[in-house]
Amino acid sequence: MSSDGGVTQGADEPTSFALRPPRPVTPAEQQGVPHPGNPYADPARSAPRTQAGPPPPAQSAQPQPQPGPRSGPPQPHPHAQSEPHAQSAHAQSAHAESAHQPSQHPPRSGTAHPRPPRPPESAPPRSPQGSPAQDPGTGRLVAGRYRLLAKLGHGGMGTVWRAEDETVDREVAVKEPRLPDHLPERERANAFERMRREARAAARLDHPAVVNVHDVAVVDGRPWIVMELVRGRSLGAALEEGTLGAREAARIGLEVLGALEAAHAAGILHRDVKPDNVLLGPHGRVVLTDFGIARIEGETSLTDTGGFVGSPEYIAPERVLGQRPGPSCDLWSLGVVLYAATEGVSPFRRSNTPATLQSVLNSTPAAPASAKGPLAEAINGLLDKDPSRRLRADRVRRLLTEAAEPPARTPTETARTPTETVRVPEDGGTGGATRTGGTGRGGVRVPRAALFGLGAAVVAAAVAAYLVIANPFAGPLPDGWGKHHEKDITATLAVPAGYQRSTPDRTSDKGHWVTYTDWSGGIWIGLGVSRASEDASHQIKDSSAAQMYADNGDFKQSGAYALDMPEGPRTVPRETTYRGGRSAENTVVYMTNDSQDPRPRELRMFYYKSSAGDMYKLTVSYPGKGDFTARGREVARAAIANLDIDKR
């Protein structure tokens, strides 16, 4: 296999160098220069693990495993390790005013899923005097004019600093070349030349979606690239918190497409388009960064025999095959970015680099579920493995423009009769109904003339009708949901369309459970039942409430290993009713006990003991913070409300 530049990689090696810890500085060096050798790049961090499907809900005192395998079949496991991929210094919001941790791409398809949102970053370390600790090297003056202020990020080939240009009194981003000491001289020379090419490539482009290069300062034979400071974060970091809507994804895609069109017109191929290399700046600005492995027409290739650079899951098939790359390679990468941004899963990512490249060559991703219409057409056209049939940039621009524009209002919408909105609280109306002008949200739309012409009894009837519709126990399923009868559990479960179903492996698991997981892995629904006829050890409690309080006590005392739950979570237990019988619910809020990557989680749990003595438990798990929290709570309410247990 050949490629277009870079350092040789082994079969299972990551696609980027890992930075080594700084070497000790001798007293003699300290006296000679302030920072000899500049050995202050942070050591590489191991990639945080990705969530690999729902874990089984915490084991209560019940005889069989509760719903939810730790992973998809055949080997359930709580997490799948995410392979470290190339992390450029730009890619980690390198131009951002505040540093972000290196973001992970949406995980490979299949059993692995994207990570839910990160918890808030911890406070920076402080010195004994109480002031924040500074990065080694802060304050150094580079090339006599660029004062390093703070480290923004680092990757395989460099560290990016926020700096002040003291000559013109402005803040800039400075990319310091930083390579592992063990690299052979030839590879070091190639890496430094790629950095110079990055500067030349970006400097040749004049486009608002391409970062501006101000200067290249050569210090001790190493090129320090001085660039525009873009305050924001990467698209990769944004996708850690959830997928993008179709219009926003199309808008960002248009900006990236514009940057690629400008580059291609100048004879430059980017060759590493991925979410980490797309910065989201203020006022809606989108910037494509990191031309470090760009190929400039007419320049000599830096390819080593068997060498390979770039992020495998975003590389076009023709590049994997060693064919001469063209603009369509960058367009393929844009298609993968749009797929990941809207669907929440990278279509080709697998457990290691060879498997990922094989997937790029041979796998056909599932049709986009969230992207519809012109956006789906653009994604599908960009992911054609034959570059001659792949959509051209002009066609992609038309489709993305159509997808990014707001839908036109229909004549019936513009001529709609003025209405009053009757709003009723979710607590069932205990707070009373209020009327507000306009269309409002969440209320019953009643023509204003009807309100004035009808008596209070009619208004009360409208309110009563709203309560029937708004109450999910009495109303229809939400749009896009479906009901699934689970024969083994003797119950019908309502879930959103597209959720992935998992059941026990009967060769090793005799339990009665099923889970449904959304593609992002952030939300899962699990339903299980403990049969009285199988409860030889009498673990089933006397009532739904007793079972709920028993589980609640276990959570408080020892947590739940299967749910990554530490002891002492915050819980809200309560007794409820179901079809006139007694049931119970519990809401559990906690921070996962993953020492490397703790996450806020929230569980909604429903308990019901049937007349036959069987104990049913419905669990819905979702992120405790971020965009998915509200959606998770909505899924939990609807799933519990529409649970239909068979009569036995």
DSSP state of 128: T
The Cα diameter of the chain in Å comes to 93
Q: Where are the beta strands (DSSP E) in 199-326?
A: 213-219, 222-228, 233-234, 268-269, 278-280, 286-288, 295-296
Q: Is 599:118 a contact under the CB 8 Å cutoff?
A: yes
Radius of gyration of the chain (CA): 28
Residue 175 annotated in ligand binding: yes
- The whole-angstrom distance between residue 229's C-alpha and the CA centroid of its chain comes to 25
> Among positive and negative, which fits the CA dihedral 478, 472, 527, 58?
positive
Comparing C-alpha atoms, which of 419, 58, 140, 105 is closest to residue 273?
105
Which residues on adjacent β-strands are paired with residue 287? 279
3-state secondary structure 360-375: HHHCCCCCCCCCCHHH
| C-beta atoms surrounding 625 within 10 Å | 18
Parallel, antiparallel, or unpaired for β 141-142 and 491-496?
Answer: unpaired
How far apart are the two ends of the chain, measured CA to CA in Å? Answer: 63
Q: Is 277:234 a contact under the CB 8 Å cutoff?
A: yes
CA neighbours closer than 13 Å in the CB half-sphere of residue 262: 20
Residue matched to tokens 């492995």: 293
Rounded Cα distance between 306 and 293, Å, is 16
Active site residue 42: no
3-state secondary structure 526-546: EEEEECHHHCCCCCCCCCHHH
Q: Which amino acid is at 30?
A: Q
Q: Which residues contact 519 (CB under 8 A, 6 or more apart)?
A: 113, 343, 344, 345, 369, 498, 500
Q: Which of 165, 181, 215, 272 is catalytic?
A: 272
Angle of helix 393-404 versus helix 373-382 axis, rounded to 10: 150
Q: Which amino acid is at 76?
A: P
DSSP state string for 279-312 = EE-GGG-EEE---TT-EETTSPP-BPTTB--S-G
Give kind and range of the element (H or E) at residue 493: strand 491-496
451 three-state secondary structure: helix
315: which 2 tokens? 């590389």
Comparing C-alpha atoms, which of 199, 158, 203 is closest to residue 177?
158
228: which 2 tokens? 């525009």
Q: Is 170:227 a contact under the CB 8 Å cutoff?
A: no
Q: Is 553:547 a contact under the CB 8 Å cutoff?
A: no
421: which 2 tokens? 């909105």
Provide the annotated binding site for ATP.
Answer: 175
Residue list for the binding site: 175
What are the residue numbers of the active site? 272
